[in-house]
Each structure stands twice: as C-alpha cells, then as structure tokens.
Amino acid sequence: MSDLIRFSSARRTARANLHAGWLAGGALVIYDEGFGVPEDADTAITDQTALVTFDIPDPAGDVSNGVFTAETLAAALIDATGTAAFARAYDSGGGGIGDYDVGGVGSGAAIELDNLSLVEGAYATVVSFVVTEG
C-alpha cells in the first residue's frame, strides 16, 4: 500500500479549513507517554497522564496554501508533572479530532512547546501549532 498522496493546493487548503473549523473553540491536551503513545486518535487514553490543557480560540487560526497556523494560545497552568510526548485535540463539544506530535522549539513538530519537561503548578506555552495538509 502506498503512503504517497499529493493533493492539489486547492484541496489541501479545503482540508486545512475543515481542520481549522473542527479546532475552533476546542481544547488541546498535552499528554505524557505513559506505557506508549496511542496507535491513533480513536484509541482511548488509558495510562497516559494529561499534563496541561490549552483552550483553542474561535476562530482557531489562519489557513494559507494548505497550511493551518493556530492563533496564539494563552499560556496554561500545568496540572501534572511529566514529559510532553503527544497532544490530542478536542472540538468544542469534547469530541476527539486527532493526535499531534509535540516537540521543543525548532523541532518541526506540529506543536512546539517552550519546554517539554512540565512541572505541576508552572505555566506552559505553545510556541507554534502548525499543520500542513498532504
């Protein structure tokens, strides 16, 4: 099975706009790895710990040429100590949207945090949240 799919610019932009709509007014939760990152966004969160939750504004961000770039997310109070491993986004009704990789500044991950080592009671900052549609 091929993993190569290249959409036209117009289709990538349409997908990115749909993605932005799902995110609008939702939440972005950063988790530790637990005993492993879930296989996909349909896999329940089990032993992974929610470290910090960011509110996503409405509108969620801008789309240009198939790339969604989130609006600035307000810093959020860290709920538990741990190392950020992945994020799951939820729509405004609490339904799961998808999982995203998390990395430090300059990592190229979809979500870049100011620090991956999160400490309960401190604040975390999303430096960038950018998704490029295939």
Structure confidence by residue, pLDDT tens digits, 58-80: 999 999 999 999 999 999 999 99
Q: Please report, to the nearest 10 degrees, the dihedral formed by the alpha carbons of residues 130, 61, 93, 42 taken in order.
A: -20
pTM of the full structure: 0.93
Q: Mean pLDDT over residues 10-33, rounded?
A: 96
Q: What is the pLDDT of residue 1?
A: 61
pLDDT at position 5 is 80
Q: What are the domain boundaries of the chain?
A: 25-35+48-132
